[in-house]
Amino acid sequence: MPKPPSKTPKSASLQLGRAVAWPQTPDAATLDRVPNPQKDTNYLVRFTAPEFTSLCPITGQPDFAHLMIDYVPGAWLLESKSLKLYIASFRNHGAFHEDCTVSIGKRIAQEIKPKWLRIGGYWYPRGGIPIDVFWQTGRLPKGIWIPEQGVAPYRGRG
């Protein structure tokens, strides 16, 4: 009979497994990392945030995007609850599409130090013009299969 999965011990430093307040700004948000039990194996992790929201820094109008975050982990994995809270912290944050997308990629890369990371920001049109923003760190390790991000460059995104 297989052993039941062991529970990850709760840590006061992690947001996982406890109630935490929603961060009011991206700078106030904490991104948590956990040890990668497969750190000697190259593999891809994908996070999809199809309902990302921020504010236009000029008009204050809401902007919407479909974010795709792919990374090849090193010693650390990005904890998903903390990512959800970090992403939500942009809801009242005024920044241009390019700044939001690139700053999210850089912040994640800084926190978990992946072997490789790519973020695609597929922004819904405002004024009839969609803006797609892409950023990555370095070169992809050999032998990694990267599936298509699956977001059409433009077709109304709805």
Choice among 56, 70, 100, 132 that is catalytic: 56
For this structure, is 27 an active site residue? no
- CA 157 to chain CA mean position, Å: 19
Distance CA 151, CA 123 (A): 10
Q: At what angle do helices 97-112 and 80-88 cross, to 10 degrees?
A: 150
Distance CA 96, CA 86 (A): 17
For this structure, is 32 an active site residue? no
User: 44: exposed, middle or buried (C-beta count within 10 Å: 0-12, 13-18, 19+)?
Assistant: middle
CB atoms within 10 A of CB 2: 4
Choice among 27, 40, 63, 100 that is catalytic: 63
Residues carrying an active site annotation: 56, 63
